[in-house]
Amino acid sequence: MRFAGTRPTRSWLTAIPASNEMRVGIIGAGQLGQMLGLAARTLGVECCFLDPGEAPPAADCGPVIHAAFDDAAALAELASNADVVTYEFENVPVDALRVLDGKVPVYPPPDALRHAQDRLAEKRLFEHLDIPLPGYHVIDARTDLDAAADALGLPLVVKTRRLGYDGKGQFVVRERADIEPAWDALGGAALIAEQWVTFDYEVSAIGVRSVAGEILTYPLSRNVHRGGILHTSCAPVEAPELERSAASFIEGLLTHLDYVGVLALELFVCGDRLLANEFAPRVHNSGHWTIEGARTSQFENHLRAILQLPLGPTTAVGHAGMVNLIGTIPDAARSLAKGQLHDYGKTPRPGRKLGHITVIADSAADRDRLVAEIEQTVT
Ligand code: AMP
């Protein structure tokens, strides 16, 4: 779906740059950096990364400055090697990005990251933009948890406001007796309590906005999490009304933030309503299916947006399903009759995202059958 700006009259394919003079500095060299780096290669664009890891996944895609994400000298070095800087990792200090932004464009804008890093700022932004969200309560003291239970009812989920990901920094309070353990577990940090949502399913909406303000959205993907970690994503979701609502939320966020690049919004589906959970100002795991399943991947479109190239079409090419490989990549994943394996080259560790498999089918039913077969084979 498209909202603003004028589509270029020439084919987007012909707009691939003829030279490899453009250089992108990427903060973070994990699997998202790796997939950005692979997409950059097809555009003839060079990447340079900053990451504290010794041998991060994206090291195959360009030089890596090995340093902490808040190392001012290393960030300055990255900027001096790049025409534009982006990030694939959300825990980068916003102030460090603002300093860089004075030297080289930094996309997505640091202010988007500021909102995404703090669940309270994020929720206030959703409210400001009339994006529906679950009820919540700010928790500054132990007694606020009782007040939250009174106001929101039980169960509720207590979350750290900052530095949470993949369900980490969360505690579900099912009954009053859980309040004490929740406070003991998380009480040292700034917290928020959320109403427990009995959703039908979860979706994510991924959108991209160019410097010129053109906005495109990908078809919604339906996501299944296990233990707070994304397990599968399937797209498209055949629910046009939900698609329209989600696209209008994305348009509101991208426009308000004067955003450039890809943004992912995670939502709960409750009947015909959507409730926003959180947004990520970056390429997202629930959009990995776009590599094989969309006319232009989220990675290529993120680069196109930040490099001021025309955006590529976001339509689906068939019915895509993605299964994450977490903790281990079993041998069976390497010999599947159907399915594209992406092995990030990471050292196996419990709970670690090591790779994913994508299948493309002619129908949603075939896709769902293939995804179930792959899940059985690899888990
Ligand atoms: P988060 O880190 O906030 O994205 O949470 C990870 C996952 O936990 C979500 O994708 C949901 O599956 C679940 N979850 C988070 N918040 C809630 C909530 N308020 N109600 C129900 N499930 C939730």
Ligand 1 atom having least distance to the Cα of 195: 19
pLDDT value at residue 166: 63
Composition of the chain by helix, strand, coil, percent to 5 = 35, 25, 40
pLDDT value at residue 134: 98
Distance from Cα 167 to the centre of ligand 1, integer Å: 7
Q: Is the CB of 225 under 6 A from ligand 1?
A: yes
Q: Is the CB of 168 under 6 A from ligand 1?
A: no
User: Do the bridges between strand 273-280 and strand 261-270 make them parallel or antiparallel, or are there none, so unpaired?
Assistant: antiparallel
CB within 8 Å of 285: residues ≥ 6 apart: 230, 233, 324, 353, 356
Rounded distance, CA 115 to CA 112, Å? Answer: 5
pLDDT value at residue 12: 39
Rounded distance, CA 23 to CA 379, Å? Answer: 39
pLDDT value at residue 187: 84
Average pLDDT over residues 168-187: 92
Helix (H, G, I), strand (E, B) or coil at 292: helix
Q: Is the CB of 202 under 6 A from ligand 1?
A: yes
Residue 164 has pLDDT above 80, yes or no: no
Confidence band, pLDDT 50/70/90 cuts, at residue 273: very high
The end-to-end CA distance of the chain, in Å, is 35
Distance from Cα 143 to the centre of ligand 1, integer Å: 23
Rounded distance, CA 170 to CA 172, Å? Answer: 7
Average pLDDT over residues 134-157: 96
pLDDT value at residue 13: 40
Distance from Cα 277 to the centre of ligand 1, integer Å: 7
Distance from Cα 166 to the centre of ligand 1, integer Å: 9
